[in-house]
Every structure is written in structure tokens, then in C-alpha cells.
Homo-oligomer: A and B are copies of this chain.
Amino acid sequence: MAGSELGSRLRLTTWGESHGPALGCVLDGFPAGMALSEEDIQVYLDRRRPGRSPVTTARKEADRVEILSGVFEGVTTGTPISLLIRNTDQRSRDYGNLKEAFRPGHADYGYEARYGIRDYRGGGRSSGRETAARVAAGAVCQKLLSECGISVRAFARAIGPVWVPEEGLDPSLALTAPTAMPHAESNERALAFLKECRERGDSAGGVIECRASGLPAGLGDPVFDKLDAGLARAVMSIGAVKAVEIGDGIRASGALGSENNDAFYMDEEGHVRKRTNHAGGILGGISDGSDLVLRAYVKPTPSISQPQDTVTSGGEEISLTIRGRHDPVIVPRAVVVAECMCAFVILDALLSSMTARASYVKDFCKRKREDL
């Protein structure tokens, strides 16, 4: 309730600034008895790490995670999992006019207005670096979801004007291509576009798509904790995201009811299924057993190397030129962040659904008494 916390049954608290000694998170309420190693988490952090490709910042961060609590002999114990990532590339440097200037498109002014003080080094808490902690926590959630047969995967759907088509995707590219686009040709075109952007000292935005399959129907609490409401909050809380949609989303608003409704039918094994999935797997805020589909619309990186008009905290109007190399687009690195946010929200909703019926409670008590 104080800003850096997310979740209900499962509770994530993140902390850390871009250029402080470290950043990390505490994941509380995570179930006991799951095998967990630092390597399980590291593979996710590596997907987010800067410095891998021509389209990401040159900042070098090893982003090695340390598990400080909640795991004993390689297994989760049910107590808070504390994860720590040291900031290694925090060399002291001359921040020049960034100490005073409010960078356009950044949170600088808002922080100053709110707190009267701000850590101007690399954006402090408002830096995209904060998302490393989210990814670390999400990796833990992904492991349990996977053991439950639930898969949550994100990829880049668009960068600037380049859209990945609906068909002919190669999912493995989402993990390996520099753009995180699951489509070789789109990847090439996006890289060319980004090269141009960078040459002009400009930046681009794009779209991240996340898909989850294997969710049982019935996840999501009515009203304010609807599954889509939880996802929207968690994904919108990623720095540069300016819109979130579920299923057909924006397009649904222009469709007719007869087009947008998904007809139900019974499959051969006697399960309820839908013929189409305009709803994106969520109806009335509750999962319907179809694939969950979410898209996040990401604004262009606000740090550009062209000179920009702005003001200082002292009230002076200046022309600001931001030095250093920045991601010309944050979509490729934000893909795993969005994926991890979705995984967290889905696991939290799954835990919540385990207490939804009185019969579950009675069965639990009975089994518990027999076991002890």
C-alpha cells in the first residue's frame, strides 16, 4: 500500500535505485517445497540484461542474482524470498546539468514535485533498471506456473512501424532475436529502422504481446480484482507502457456484438471450449480456459540525443542535450518484464482461487488432520 508492493496472496516488494549499491525484491507468500536455484532466475535476468545487442544501451551490468532467504537446501520454505542484484556499473561520473534539469518524457519533475528531493543519477527509482527486480520475482513465479502446466510467454509484436504478422511465427526467436520479435524478417526490418532512429538521435516505441496458455477457467476475483484489472495495473506500472489491451481490445470497441461474442462448444473430451477468442481468455474478469492474450503499448524511449527544451528545478529554461548511449527502443528488453508481471498476477490469482469454495476448505481440513 506504499507504492512498491504488488499482489494479494503473493506479495512482491521491490526496492532499489539505478545507481545505488544494489536493487532487489522480497517475494512473500510463495508456496513451500519448490526447487529453486539462482540459475532458474538468472536465465530470465539475462533476457532483460543490457549490453547484449546493437539495440540496447551499452551499460554493462552482470545482473547476477543472489538468493538471500526463503530457500533451504535448494527448496523454497514458504518464508520470504529475498533476491539481491548488485549494481556493478555505477561509476561516479559528471551528471552535469542532469542534476538540475527535468528531462522531457521522464519522471524527474514529478519526483521533485512529490518529494522535494530526487536521486538524479540515472533516474533513481524511476529508472528502467528497477524492473530487474520484477523479472527476478517473476522468474520464480514462472517456475511454479510451469510445474502447474501453465505457460506465459511474451514477445515483441511491433517496433516503430514494423508489425510482426499473425501467422508464421517462430517463438524461439522471441528469446534470441535482438528485437525479441518471433519473426526473422520483421526482426531485420526493425533493426534497420532502429539504426536509422539512432543515426537521427531519435528513438522508437512498439508493442509487446503476452500469451498465457494452460490456465484453468475460474481465475480472477469479481469486481476490482478481475484478472484483467490486475494485469492492466501490473503491466501499466512498467515505466514506458501507455496502453494495455486484452484480447481484441481496441478493435473490440469497433466491432458488433455478433462479431465479438465467442461461441461456446463442448470438445471431444467433454470440456467447455470457445470457437473464437476475441475475449483474450477473460470474460467478466475471470479466465475462461482459452489462451490469455494481452498487449502493452510502449512509448519511445524518452532519452534522445537531440537537444530539447526544458526547465531546471531552479525555474530556468534551458536547452538540454542528453549524452551517453540509451536504448533506442525499450521493447526488446521490456518483453521479459511484461511476461514476468503477467506470470506474477496469474499465480496470485491461482492461489486466490484455491479458497473459493467451502468444499475446498473442508477437504483441506480433513486431509490436514489425517496427515499430522
Contact = CB atoms under 8 A, between A and B. Distances in A.
Interface in A232-250: 232-237, 239, 242-250
A281 B155 CA distance: 28
Contacts of A70: 15, 17
Contacts of A110: 217-218, 220, 283-288
A353 interface: yes
Given A80-B4, A233-B230, A253 B358 contact: no
A96 to B, nearest CB: 17
23 contacts: A15-B28, A15-B68, A16-B68, A17-B70, A32-B115, A78-B356, A80-B125, A105-B260, A105-B279, A109-B272, A110-B284, A113-B218, A114-B220, A206-B253, A216-B365, A218-B372, A226-B237, A253-B298, A255-B300, A261-B308, A266-B315, A266-B317, A353-B364
Contact of A147 (B16, B234, B285, B358): B358
B77 A125 contact: yes
Given A34-B358, A160-B254, A263-B308, 11 more contacts: A1-B29, A2-B28, A4-B28, A9-B355, A29-B355, A79-B119, A110-B285, A217-B372, A224-B233, A232-B235, A272-B372
B257 A31 contact: no
A104 B357 CA distance: 24
Contact of A234 (B229, B256, B279): B229
A150 interface: yes
A161 interface: yes
A246 to B, nearest CB: 5
A91 B53 CA distance: 43
